[in-house]
A and B are shown apart, each in its own frame.
Chain A
């Protein structure tokens, strides 16, 4: 039996304040109601302070469970909130008590990380477009140099694109490398691991490409220029594939 402020609450108060079970029963009998103390559950007596049934938020601070919102946020439509107001008392219980200490999340660091990774994402996509262009122009340059009229008409475009690709790749890598890591967690091999592995392969590919590209240019007139250029071209495709895998790992 539930009691609320009023006569029954008064009885409950008598039981709680003065009562041994025997005296309580006696008190109740005297008042003409055969109630046992075990049947009396005081939901909130009028002498108890407000607010009732506080629950503990995981941040450790006490909060009023009966509020629909916390932290000043709007809960949504007033219609739904108002309609449920009567039900909230029904859910005023707390069966779990104070939450255990869990890993704290540094939200500022998380926000900075998100900003840096969003920029990283934009720079990375731009870098991918540049790299694709570099590879296409590089193939045209190779065809012109070793299979065509050797007009050198693609050399400048290829150089500009290649250095832009390298610069944007370095910028994207720097953003990811220096982004704060507020949460330490062992994930095993996941999509991010695949992204990182692919980008590591792409980094090695870019370094090799740069070296081979400069070497190819320096071997003008030598017999091995074509083979070095071919290796440069092949590594270009491998690097492009590594970046494609790295991006796809996160996007799809």
Chain B
């Protein structure tokens, strides 16, 4: 509530230009489910850029090294790298395009972004709903989540105790964008 009020108070318009992800303040997290437990992995080694055009179109691209995710179990992380064939496909890449509403005022509680995710060398279409909120330091925070199918990306699902994890991998992101390259 307090955050929402604050966001409204500092509401601003998104200017045209390039925005770069502040990796130190950003995070991408995945969650996969195994019958015995739920695994969460996180990465802060994020490269990302967004370009806001004069007509309000936003192009965004985010790239994360799959080796940078940490789940609190180095052995499991290595298993994940093997499943993702990290030697051949070391990055997960998201590209998206969205249209800012007229006036481009932020906060925007829900912005639909059409995009594609490239994971394990397979590119799949993706629709992401994200929120944009202005921050005190004039950066813009984008948060959202989406699900990806491991099978659809041709990933041989890892198993523990000879039981595979579920097909759905839930991705949540919290990205802070700063104006400039």
Enumerate chain A interface residues (CB-CB to B < 8 A): 57-59, 67-71, 73-76, 80, 83-84, 87-88, 90-91, 93-96, 99-100, 102-107, 110-111, 113-114, 117, 121, 182-183, 185, 187, 190-192, 195, 250-252
Contact = CB atoms under 8 A, between A and B. Distances in A.
Contact of B70 (A71, A87, A114, A187): A187
A94 B86 CA distance: 21
A199 to B, nearest CB: 13
Contacts of B65: 58, 99, 102
B137 interface: no
Contacts, number: 140
Interface of B: 18, 36-37, 47-51, 59-61, 63, 65, 67-68, 70, 72-79, 81-82, 85-91, 95-97, 114-116, 118, 120-125, 149, 151-154, 160-161
Contact of A71 (B60, B67, B88, B161): B88
A76 B116 contact: no
Contacts of A182: 78
Nearest to B65: A102
24 contacts: A57-B91, A68-B123, A69-B121, A70-B118, A70-B123, A73-B120, A73-B154, A75-B154, A76-B152, A76-B153, A84-B116, A91-B97, A95-B18, A95-B61, A106-B87, A107-B86, A110-B87, A114-B82, A117-B75, A183-B78, A187-B70, A250-B75, A250-B160, A252-B36
A58 B81 contact: no
A196 to B, nearest CB: 10
A24 B67 CA distance: 49
B86 A105 contact: yes
B149 to A, nearest CB: 8
Nearest to A55: B93
Contacts of A94: 61
Contacts of B120: 73
Given A96-B48, A111-B82, 7 more contacts: A70-B121, A73-B121, A88-B123, A95-B61, A105-B90, A107-B85, A117-B75
Contacts of A250: 73, 75, 160
